[in-house]
Structure 1
Amino acid sequence: MKTWLRISILYTVFLIVGCNTANNQQELEEEVNGEETQEDSDAEQTSADDDAIQEVEGEVENNEDFLAVEDEFTKEFLVDTDVEPGFHQMRGKLDGFEMVIPENGIISDLLHDIENDAIETLIFTFNNFSERKLHDVKLMYYKKYPEEVKQNYLNVFKNKVGFDGEYQYAEANGLEMYYESFEDEDDYGPYMRYFGYLFTEDRNQAISYTHTAMCQGGGECSISLEEESEIAEKLMYSIRLLDQ
């Protein structure tokens, strides 16, 4: 079995079954209702997910030649493989968003979920083998959200990623973008987290973006907030929310 399939199965246990599929709709309803009682448990679950990710990284072997265009499921998302060197253009299954993905980005069918034809969760990973770094990107697309609960979405999301500061704000691609980044260290080593919540300015669509860079396999590597944020920002700024 290919390494990426093994890690995808383990990711599924911890990230999809344990958190996303069961909780996405409940989480959305709580945000819409303005309830934030779920925040503490969500933050605890996110921390547990991070630990699980770090543990399975130890099983990742150097498979540098395994590319997005070689993975059958990932290919289903690709709409253009010639956007710029090293990147492809991908589109979500709900046809709600597009963005660029690194040419070695891999999406597993076990890491993809659609609820009620309204919420799409997608996770992809890619490696920098020469520097022994693993990048993990999670997207949650909402086809429709009530404008009056935007702040609740932002509060819950910030708590989930483990940040207690204030968002930065920008406008691009017809989107209102609330984002920030930080670096930290846990039992497995240093990591960088870049996160953002993007809302359409004229339609009630939204997408959350979480990008984590960490040392591959729990080994030693150099994690620079500035350098890793550049990669994460490039991907986030490529996101387009599409007319429905």
Structure 2
Amino acid sequence: MTVIRQQDFIDSIEDALQFISYYHPLDYVKAVEQAYLKEESQAAKDAMAQILINSRMSAEGKRPLCQDTGIVTCFVKIGMGVSWDKTDMTVQQMVDEGTRRAYMNPDNPLRASIVEDPAGARKNTKDNTPAVVHIDTVPGDKIEVMIAAKGGGSENKSKMVMLNPSDDIVEWVLKTLPTMGAGWCPPGMLGLGIGGTAEKAAVLAKESLMDPVDIQELIERGPQTTDEKLRVEIYERVNKLGIGAQGLGGLTTVVDVK
């Protein structure tokens, strides 16, 4: 049986949140670079150049990529063979403690955006807690944590719909995306959750965004499954809408669809 130290878990959450505040994932940087190289619209090209320059400056200076440092979203998969050295805190509380330390780090303080009593006083919690934590138990003796700081611009553009079996998923996406404006800061990724109950579909969509950007590899080898064919069709047809980087028009609105 593997024993996980509570302090190690909290430290890992803090370190991860600081890390992702100033480092873009390499797959995203490469995808934006490729989109930049093929872009024909000068306005969109300039917008992507700014994203890439900002990404490098943030990495070198260890300062946030964006003033919106997000709501912490955490997927924790806990092996059935795992035990903890202390049991006085829940997983939610441990993630919140790591979040608190990360956002109040004096060397790189991050903007706290979370409020308590959201339907009433809306008072800022000052430390960006609570985080949104999804916990699964899985076989094995390890813990896997996938964590993101989800910006409000994209989070607030989330859409949900109950479709009939005869409805077309692709057509719904194509109808919906232009209504979202540019507040989600394209070029980005689309995550779709299909099936289950309403809350299950939403979680599936969110978790899918944790996967690496790999649509070009998929296109090169050719889609095989229904899901892969759907991903490629949505990717190609969304990019034909011409929304483009930061909504300025252009060839690339999304770098991947999950």
> Greater relative contact order: 1 or 2 (C-alpha under 8 angstroms, separation 6 or more)?
2
Specify the structure having the higher radius of gyration (Cα): 2
Higher helix share: 2
TM-score of the superposed pair, with normalisation by structure 1: 0.30
TM-score of the superposed pair, with normalisation by structure 2: 0.29
Higher strand share: 1
